[in-house]
Amino acid sequence: MDRRAFMRATGRGAVALAALSLASRLGAQDPQDSQGAPPAAPSAASNVEMNSDAYKKVSLPPKPDASPSMDKDAIKEFESKLACPCPCTLDVYTCRTTDFQCGISPAVHNDVLAMVNGGHNADEILAALTGVYGDYILTAPRKEGFSLLVWVAPFAALAAGAVAIGTLLRSWRRNGAEGSRNRRPSSSGAGAATVGSAASGTGASEPTGVGSSAEGSAEEMARLEAALRDDSR
């Protein structure tokens, strides 16, 4: 970067910062302000470069004799499902009520409030917003149509994995049964005799061929011993 470019960048930054400082002190993000005009120049989150094109005005003509269609809590819930068009990755409600010096989320909030006051319900407002922004305004894909795949895929993959593991375990069990049959003639009395070697913690030296007797058996003793002697390696 040459000196001229550096100066230009510094100058632009200084102007932007001065504007931001003024905006933050005077305009602020007033969550209660339904009449505030969208900011002329969106400010920047502390470490996120805002895109002034990110905000797009969305409006619907008020219905005759309109009254607000949602209360404060319903608006909060509704805005929690809207992604702020700035790169903060937060929802509109969270973004406009936190540290971020974002001018976009309050502007979207004002649009929502205007439509709420115009008597439009949540579905109508959502349709208007997605009509302008596309589904990118939603914090998560819809659970319908092609987007449903987004939600189903992880669970489908998990189910496939579970089936694969089940198949794998069955094959191991078949191997185990064969191995057991092959070893049976020499496996009697293995439990107590192999207690000492079991402590090494390796599969090869663990007692094998122990039958179905469970509680208090030599196998249990070996396992206990292995448990307490299996020092970290």
Partner 1 sequence: MILVGELSLWVALLMAAWTTIVSYSGGHQGRADLIRSGERALYATFAFTLVASIGIWTALFTHDFSLKFVASFTSINLPKVYTFTAFWAGQSGSMLFWCLILTMYAAIAVFSNRQTNRPMMPWVTGTLGVISLFFLMMMCFGANPYERIDWIPPDGRGMNPQLQNPGMAIHPPMLYLGLVATAVPFAFAVGALITRNLDAAWLGAVRRWALVSWFFLTIGITLGMWWAYVELGWAGYWAWDPVENSSFFPWLTGTAFLHSIMIQEKRGMLKKWNVTLVMATFLLSILGTFITRSGIIESVHAFAKSDVGYWFLYFLIASTALSAYLVATRLNDMKAKAELESMVSREAAFLYNNLVLVGICLATLWGTLLPILSEWVSGDKLNVGRPYFNTVNWPLGLLLLALTGIGPLIAWRRASVSNLRRQFTFPIALGVVVFVALIALGMRAPYALVSYLIAGFVMGTILQEFYKGIGARRRMYSEGLFAASMRLVGRNRRRYGGYIVHFGVVVMFCAFAGQLFVREVEPLVKTGDVVKATDAYGKEWTFTSQGLSSFNQLNRKVLAISFAVTRDGKPMGILSSEKRQHVDSRGEDTFEPSTEVGLLESPSQDVYMVFTGAVDAQTAAVHITFNPLVWWVWFGGIMMAFGGIIVMWPQAHRSERESGYVAEMKPRAVPELVGAGS
Region 134-163 residues binding partner 1, contact defined as CB under 8 A = 134-141, 146-147, 150-151, 153-155, 157-158, 161-162
Asked if 24 is part of the footprint of partner 1 (rule: CB under 8 A), the reply reads: yes
Asked if 187 is part of the footprint of partner 1 (rule: CB under 8 A), the reply reads: no
Three-state DSSP string of 183-217: HHHHCCCHHHHCHHHHCCCCHHHCCCCCCCCCCCC
Q: How far is the CB of 45 from partner 1 (least distance, A)?
A: 7
For residues 62 and 148, which CB has a smaller minimum distance to partner 1 in the complex? 148
Coil, helix or strand at residue 166: helix
Region 201-230 residues binding partner 1, contact defined as CB under 8 A = 201-204, 206, 212, 214-218, 220-221, 223-230
For residues 118 and 137, which CB has a smaller minimum distance to partner 1 in the complex? 137
Q: How far is the CB of 162 from partner 1 (least distance, A)?
A: 6
Region 46-105 residues binding partner 1, contact defined as CB under 8 A = 46-48, 81, 83, 87-91, 94-95, 97-101
**Please, which residues have CB within 8 angstroms of residue 90's CB and are 6 or more apart in sequence?**
83, 84, 98, 100, 105
Q: Using alpha carbons only, give the angle 89, 154, 160 rounded to the nearest 5 degrees.
A: 165
Q: Answer yes or no: are the C-beta atoms of 34 and 117 closer than 8 Å.
A: yes
> How many residues appear in the chain?
233
Helix intervals (H) in 140-198: 148-183, 190-193, 195-198
Asked if 193 is part of the footprint of partner 1 (rule: CB under 8 A), the reply reads: no
Segment lying near partner 1 (by CB under 8 A), choices 57-65, 112-120, 121-129, 189-197: 189-197
For residues 78 and 118, which CB has a smaller minimum distance to partner 1 in the complex? 78
